[in-house]
Amino acid sequence: MNNFSAKVDQFVDIVVNQGGSNKIIEGLQNTLLIAILGLIIGIIIGTLIATVRVVPKYKMLPRVLNAICSFYVGLFRGTPMVVQLLVFYYVLLPLLNMQMTGVKVSILVFGLNSGAYISEIMRSGIQSVDPGQMEAGRAVGLSFATTMRMIVIPQAVKNILPTLGNEFIQLIKETSVVSFVGASDLYVAFNYIGTNSYEFMVPYLAMAAIYIVLVVLISLGIKLMERSLRKSDRGH
Amino acid sequence: MIEVIDLKKDFGNHHVIKGINIKINKGDITVITGPSGSGKSTFLRCLNCMEDPTSGQIIFNGVNIADMKIDINVHRRHIGMVFQHFNLFNNKTVLDNVSLAPIHVRIKDKNDKTPKKKIIEEEHARAMELLRRIGLDGKAEAYPSTLSGGQKQRVAIIRALAMNPDVILFDEPTSALDPEMVGEVLDLIREVAEDGMTMVIVTHEMGFAKEVANRVLFIDDGRIKEDESPEEFFNNPSDPRLREFLSKVLV
Ligand SMILES: Nc1ncnc2c1ncn2[C@@H]1O[C@H](COP(=O)(O)OP(=O)(O)O)[C@@H](O)[C@H]1O
Ligand SMILES: [Mg+2]
């Protein structure tokens, strides 16, 4: 046990006196940035794809768009996130002769990837809304897109909020691979501390604790949001 | 006002509407009745192209709205619709349910130069006035889930009225209601009828039909079998299927 408390002391020393805290803050920022912006991009892409997939398919254009969307979803759900990151960073960017930081690439790839998953979540959310809602919107002369935006999607989002929360937690967890493309996340920060002290037990324990706290906080946030939404259901 | 020419509607191989011709004039209160599954709802929903006709024309104010090339949304704004299951917007307050579409239409209308804020104010005021008329102004900020069935359907009716439509279509507006709430909804429909609104109403409320309608249609097997004044329809039914139908519903 003595040994352990010595390790803790050493860890605290690096964090407080040797710039470790800056690394951790930077890592935490990047982890949250990638997960949050990735989620936002994912919700936008996912909602667009889900809308395309529920549009009536009499005409050519919706059918073509639908095929493109299925391909997209299949591609991003069928390959691991790490592979997508690596391909984007080491294959696509050089081919396009473009340069981007690891964090930006991660945000983009996380957005594209979660867009594929969220499209499926959103589609089931849309399908869970009573078709009478769309009919009523169309009957007062609103377009399909307007009814979707003002009436159906808000109700769908409410239905899928817990699932979206899980997707966010999933993204937070998956950020632990972004160091593959050179983004400094929580893992990079604690790995740096460990490497400096030749001692990994406490740093990785602290890292695990931070992930747990993040996930618990997010779960709590979702619960609160759900509760306030249910209130608006009951009215005044 | 609405002229239906040789309307047919199939669902796959299932021929539901088998050729309907009818003219609905301004001020007509038309009641449609007939056996379950005979195509009443489908016919009604073809009138505002909620179902796209398989063939035939729906001439509304001189325009064939069954033509896929026209912008149907513009025309639907002049055709109100009231559903069996109310279909109020669950995520909107009662006030927003009534005012949402009029606000949206006016904001999008390039000829309406009124500032957005003013439009919202005016349409909220109009919606409140309509709500006051049905005694539900106190519920303006409530959500639909807190209303009774009768209240929901009355809000749905003024939601249709708020668009200032030329005609309102009703699909069995009282058949999802508890019996004690049927009266309040029929009373409101009667009031709107007395104000001169053109209406097409699918219903099995025969007493209401006798009293309010000026023509009653019997739809059977995807065709109009009878199109008469209520007196003729109920006292002198010529079609044998109608006689059989009436003997069942008029107990
Ligand atoms: N969207 C649809 N798809 C397939 N069949 C339908 C659809 N809507 C109605 N039908 C069929 O059309 C027939 C007539 O239905 P409907 O117009 O609802 O009858 P009614 O309102 O007179 O009871 C029924 O057999 C019904 O199953
Ligand atoms: Mg019906």
Q: Rounded to the nearest whole angstrom, what is the distance from the C-alpha of residue A26 to the centroid of ligand 1?
A: 61
Q: Which residues of A touch B74 (CB under 8 A)?
A: 141
| Alpha carbon of A6 to ligand 1 centroid (Å) | 78
- Residue A7: the pLDDT is 86
Residue A116: the pLDDT is 97
Residues in chain B: 251
A71-78 long-range contacts, CB within 8 A, separation 24+: A72/A116, A73/A49, A73/A116, A73/A119, A73/A120, A75/A116, A76/A112, A76/A113, A76/A115, A76/A116, A76/A117, A77/A116, A77/A117, A77/A120
Residue type, B134: I
**Distances from the Cα of A66 to the Cαs of A51, A62, B56, B119, in angstroms?**
10, 6, 30, 38
Residue B179 is predicted with a pLDDT of 93
pLDDT value at residue A62:
87
Calpha distance A148→B82 (Å, rounded): 20
- Check residue A18 and give its pLDDT: 83
Task: Write down the mean pLDDT value for chain B.
Answer: 94
Q: Tokens standing for B20?
A: 């309907």
The number of CA neighbours under 13 Å toward the Cβ of B184 is: 18
Nearest CA to ligand 1 atom 26: B37
Domains belonging to chain A, first-starting first, are 28-186 (1.10.3720.10)
Measured between alpha carbons, how far is A170 from A12 in angstroms, rounded to an integer?
A: 29
Angle between helices A153-174 and A20-54 (to 10 degrees): 140
Nearest CA to ligand 1 atom 13: B37
| pLDDT given at position A236 | 39
Q: Does B141 touch chain A (CB under 8 A)?
A: yes
Please list every protein residue whose CB sits less than 6 Å from any atom of ligand 1: B 11, 14, 16, 34, 36-42
Both tokens of A205, joined, read 């324990």
**Opening angle at CA A28, ends A23 and A33, nearest 5:** 125
Question: From the CA of A236, how many Å to the nearest CA of chain B?
Answer: 6
Please indicate if any CB of chain A lies within 8 Å of the CB of B42. no
Establish if B105 touches chain A: CB-CB under 8 angstroms.
yes
Check CB contact under 8 Å for A136 and B88: yes
What are the residues facing B80 on neighbouring strands?
A: B168
Task: Extract the residue ranges of chain A whose pLDDT is less than 70.
Answer: 1-2, 231-236
**What global pTM score does this model have?**
0.87
Model confidence over B28-70: pLDDT tens digits? 999 999 999 999 999 999 999 999 999 999 999 999 999 988 9
The phi-psi region of residue B239 (left if phi > 0; otherwise alpha if psi is between -120 and 50; otherwise beta) is beta
Q: Which ligand ends up closest to the CA of B17? A: 1
d(CA B78, CA B99): 15
Q: A61, A140, A149, A231: best mutation site toward chain B, by most B Cβ within 10 Å?
A: A140
C-alpha A73 chain-centroid distance: 15
| Phi, psi (deg, nearest 5) at residue A79 | -130, 150
Q: Is the pLDDT of residue B161 over 50?
A: yes
Residue B146 sits at the vertex; the CA angle it makes with B96 and B138, to the nearest 5 degrees, is: 60
The shortest C-alpha distance from B64 to chain A (Å) reads 16
